[in-house]
Amino acid sequence: MERVYIGLGSNLAEPVSQLRGALAALGELPGTRLAAVSSLYASDPLGPPDQPRYVNAVAALETELAPLELLDALQAIELAQGRVRKDERWGPRTLDLDILLFGQRRIDEPRLQVPHYHMHARAFVLYPLAEIAGELQLPDGRPLQSLLDACPFEGLERLSDLSVTP
């Protein structure tokens, strides 16, 4: 089993319900256990400004799945919850599930880059991640705290706990 961190985000179709549904689906994946879930955070959109704010969280999984198997499973969950993939980057979506970290692996595949390529600059990823894994060391040896120190809590609002028991 490897510890994997998943970023969750939604800004359409009742975002809190979308995240709850995604967490339930994550807990049902074969060879996988939902180990921890952060609080919910509201964040400003990165893409077009004429879209609703996002609701974000981070989940920790213990999984036996291989990285691309997990990616396929996450994309199936997104599709099941109404995700439509468009050419527009960072547009509104019902659900976005990103593999942030997969153990201490570095993965550079056409479909998957781990650590997630922009997590170091995204407060809506780093602060929820720190909530459930504050002492985390990244695969390059840097402590998570060093990323937090360089990424202010701007544009973020802690909403609530998800009340999901892993």
Angle between helices 67-80 and 15-27 (to 10 degrees): 140
Whether 108 is a known active-site residue: answer no
83 is catalytic: yes
Catalytic residue among 3, 53, 83, 108: 83
CB of 1 within 8 A of CB of 64?
yes
Identity of residue 147: L
Q: From CA 134, how far away is CA 151, in angstroms rounded?
A: 15
**Is 122 part of the annotated catalytic residue set?**
no
Catalytic residue among 85, 96, 106, 122: 96
3-state SS record for 127-159: HHHHHHHCCCECCCCCEHHHHHHCCCCCCEEEE
Catalytic, out of 98, 106, 122, 149:
98
Distance set, CA 142 to CA 38, 133, 134, 146 (Å): 21, 14, 12, 7
Marked catalytic residue, from 87, 93, 111, 158: 93
Residue 94, judged by CB atoms within 10 A of its CB (0-12, 13-18, 19+), counts as buried
Active site residue 93: yes
Catalytic positions, please? 83, 93, 96, 98
